[in-house]
Copies of this chain bind each other. A is one copy, B any other.
Amino acid sequence: MRKGENSEGTTTVASGGSPGTATNTNLMGASNKPTSLKKLAQHLGLNPATVSVVLNDVPGRNIPQATRDRIKAAAKELNYQPSLLARSLRNRRTLTIGILVPELGDGYHTQVMSGIGDHLIDSGYFYFTAHHRHRKNLVEEYGQMLINRGAEAMITIDTALEHPYSIPVVAVAGHRPISGVTNVLLDHRFAAELTLSHLYSLGHREIAFMRGQPFSSDSDERWQHLVQAAREIKIKVDPDLTLQLDRDTTSPELGYPAIQRLLSVGKYFSALVCFNDISAIGAIRALQDLGMNVPGDVSVIGFDDIRSASFHNPRLTTIRQPLINMGRIAAQCVLNRLHGTEGYREQIVVEPELMVRESTGVVCTSPSTVRTRENKKSTKSGDSRGDV
């Protein structure tokens, strides 16, 4: 609205005589340099310090209201915007958090990011993001970079940290105990119980398992607890029915070849526990492409409860991680530690929830009719998955 007036103001003042060649090509009619405190003070015939004091409402200083008004008016008129860079340097506060994440643009991480971002921005903080693709050297490098850029604290998601840091760190789904790092993690024991008791109650005894990629920090933990829960509930974990994800992708592609491998073994199973929803979706697709019905022939259970899980076809039965909330908790924790509201906690555990939907069902009563080797062999050919 006040743009016209504004630019008039700037042309009057900002005539520092600088050539500013590069900037000129970048923009059309905008002012070249933002008004600095010094220029503003000069314009007012006052000292920068005084102006700063007024603009920041520093208590305990007595400046007459008239001057205050005059300063504030001029600030508005010249559109003074303090350089947060300079302020940060001086105050040693950047109001910035660094976020370290393996990958952008993936369901699991972005949900957490969303929770973090919400909370942080609402609290007046900004954040730097960097993604390391699970490469150790990048974790190190970017972590350092975030600190150099003034991050007051760091939040990591699914990232393997190697050592303590000089700033508060909160790790979502990080499992190593590191001094100074608060781990926000899921109760994986409970998750495993939920998973298996659900399948057990539906009559499943022959269950195939999918292990996560070694570089994903949840993989191990989740697997250990599944094995343990299986033992307790007396379900056999058959190595032939255990497959290991390895590809570093966040596309459902992930689960697809795994299933092909699994079926090539030829052992019967009535249920499949997937590492996450993404791989579950890929697995279901693979099963269907091979002529099987989910959950008719095989029950499939996922993990995470990403957005599309409840709208997939069949709707995914899954173990829900409160992802957004975990992000929020992580952000809250980091801020609390920063403000001293809360001391350092080694970990914060959140509870999973079983979401029963359509991809799991009672085990088929007559196993022989459902799954035969012929079935598998015959359908295997002729599928057109070129577009995947």
CB-CB under 8 A from A358, the residues of chain B are 385
CB-CB under 8 A from A86, the residues of chain B are 89
The reply on A166 being an interface residue by CB < 8 A is yes
Q: For the complex, what is the distance from the CA of A115 to the CA of B339, rounded to whole Å?
A: 35
The reply on A26 being an interface residue by CB < 8 A is yes
CB-CB under 8 A from A27, the residues of chain B are 164-168, 179-180
Contact with B along A133-177 (1 / 0, CB 8 A): 000000000101101111000000000000111111000000000
State whether A355 touches B387 (Cβ < 8 A).
Answer: yes
State whether B26 touches A167 (Cβ < 8 A).
Answer: yes
State whether A28 touches B388 (Cβ < 8 A).
Answer: no
Interface residues on A, range: 35 or more
State whether B81 touches A344 (Cβ < 8 A).
Answer: no
- Using a CB-CB cutoff of 8 Å, which residues 54-87 of chain A contact chain B? 81-86
CB-CB under 8 A from A29, the residues of chain B are 164, 179
State whether B105 touches A110 (Cβ < 8 A).
Answer: yes
Q: Do A127 and B129 contact each other (CB < 8 Å), given the known contacts A105-B111, A311-B282?
A: yes
Q: For the complex, what is the distance from the CA of A166 to the CA of B355, rounded to whole Å?
A: 49
CB-CB under 8 A from A26, the residues of chain B are 167-168, 180, 337-338, 344
Q: For the complex, what is the distance from the CA of A165 to the CA of B360, rounded to whole Å?
A: 53
State whether A148 touches B84 (Cβ < 8 A).
Answer: yes
CB-CB under 8 A from A368, the residues of chain B are none
Q: For the complex, what is the distance from the CA of A107 to the CA of B107, rounded to whole Å?
A: 7
State whether B311 touches A288 (Cβ < 8 A).
Answer: no
State whether B148 touches A296 (Cβ < 8 A).
Answer: no
Q: For the complex, what is the distance from the CA of A357 to the CA of B282, rounded to whole Å?
A: 16
CB-CB under 8 A from A285, the residues of chain B are 311, 313
CB-CB under 8 A from A296, the residues of chain B are 379, 383-384
The reply on A215 being an interface residue by CB < 8 A is no
The reply on A50 being an interface residue by CB < 8 A is no
State whether B85 touches A89 (Cβ < 8 A).
Answer: yes
Give the distance to chain B from A318, nearest Cβ to Cβ, in Å.
11
The reply on A315 being an interface residue by CB < 8 A is yes
CB-CB under 8 A from A142, the residues of chain B are 121
State whether A126 touches B145 (Cβ < 8 A).
Answer: yes
The reply on A380 being an interface residue by CB < 8 A is yes
Q: For the complex, what is the distance from the CA of A30 to the CA of B148, rounded to whole Å?
A: 16
State whether B85 touches A94 (Cβ < 8 A).
Answer: yes
Chain B residue nearest in CB terms to A356: B387
Which 7 pairs, one residue from A and one from B, show the smallest C-beta to C-beta distance? A105-B114, A104-B114, A252-B311, A313-B313, A105-B110, A22-B340, A30-B166
12 contacts between A and B (CB under 8 A): A27-B165, A28-B164, A81-B147, A81-B148, A84-B148, A84-B149, A105-B113, A117-B129, A126-B128, A251-B307, A285-B311, A296-B384
